[in-house]
Amino acid sequence: MRLAVPLEIDPGALSGWKPGAPVVDLRGETMGTTWHVRLAQPPGLHVNSLRQAIEQRLEAILAQMSHWREDSLLGGFNRAAAGTWLALPADFATVWEAALSVGEASGGAFDAAAGRLVNLGGFGPTPAAQAPDHDAIGQSLRHVGAHRLAYDAETRRLRQPGGVHLDFSGIAKGFAVDALGELLTRRGCHHALVEIGGELLGLGLRPDGDPWWVDLETPTAESAPLRIALHQMAVATSGDYVRGRHTIDPRTGAAVPHMLSLSVLHRSAMMADAWATALTVLPPSEMQWLATRERLAVRALARDEQGVMEWISPALERMMVDAAVD
């Protein structure tokens, strides 16, 4: 068993830690998947009130960012007439600005304005009867690209040029994980593991003094297991080993064929989510160069002529140790 541990322990993360504190599990559904919060219960916490707050926070995010709901703010923007300016709420603006940042840094491998391609491939609200042909992809590409949208960062307003569809599926889950982490902290829960659809955030420590250990999914016997200590850290995974080839290169409209699984560790689940999507799109050599340049902690399992190749980024390699684990 290989382990990856943070290079530094955050002294502030020890706030409120009590050995033997009761562990509470809360679960539900959101974003077409499930959410799960496991927390060390602090004194005086009303669990039912916390559950309601979690559900309300997730509903507020869905009301803004769901591409499955026609009544969401995102859905309204996608249907808006050319020239319409939309004033963005704080959550929406945070996600959009992060998407712009990762999109620029990745040379367009991540693009939150690629909703036309997502829908065309059948990964939106309506399944596709068949794979899109070259002409259909070409038509959709005319309405794809964050560069087509004007954004006023000072007033947080976004302009619909006409026919461009936003899709936050490569970043919204990560944002929601961060949002729940912030909610828990505000309510005095400083020690918890938050998960939405496989994207995770670890806060503080478990009551037994261990970090929140998470095993990266390793869908091939060619790679040894890797266990991560999520101490003030998040991890997000992309790839095709569960849902098939659903990641689309927004620059070409083609489904990504080479990435079995790619995980990114980051202090922000939102950034881990977006970077996992962007790096999955890129060919392995470009992915490795970009992850190294950005100092990202990455484990990638990519297909090549010999089978499945594992690559560990320098940032993650510095965190890794070999250990015998029962």
Binding-site members for Mg(2+) are 170, 273, 277
How many angstroms separate the first and last alpha carbons of the chain?
A: 9
Which residues, listed in sequence order, are joined to residue 223 by a DSSP beta bridge?
A: none
Cα gap 163→82, rounded to integer Å: 7
Contact 237, 262 (CB under 8 A): yes
Backbone angles phi, psi at 259, to 5 degrees: -105, 110
Which residues, listed in sequence order, are joined to residue 259 by a DSSP beta bridge?
A: 302
Full DSSP string of 110-130: S-TT-HHHHHHTT-SSS--SS
Extract the tokens encoding 69. Answer: 């709901």
Contact 79, 252 (CB under 8 A): no
Cα gap 293→276, rounded to integer Å: 15
Cα gap 193→39, rounded to integer Å: 6
Q: Which residue positions form the known binding site?
A: 170, 273, 277
Chain centre distance of CA 231: 18
Is the torsion defined by CA of 175, 176, 179, 180 positive or negative? negative
Extract the tokens encoding 102. Answer: 């990762």
Q: How far is CA 111 from CA 36, 105, 133, 176, 259, in A?
A: 28, 11, 21, 19, 18
Cα gap 83→242, rounded to integer Å: 39
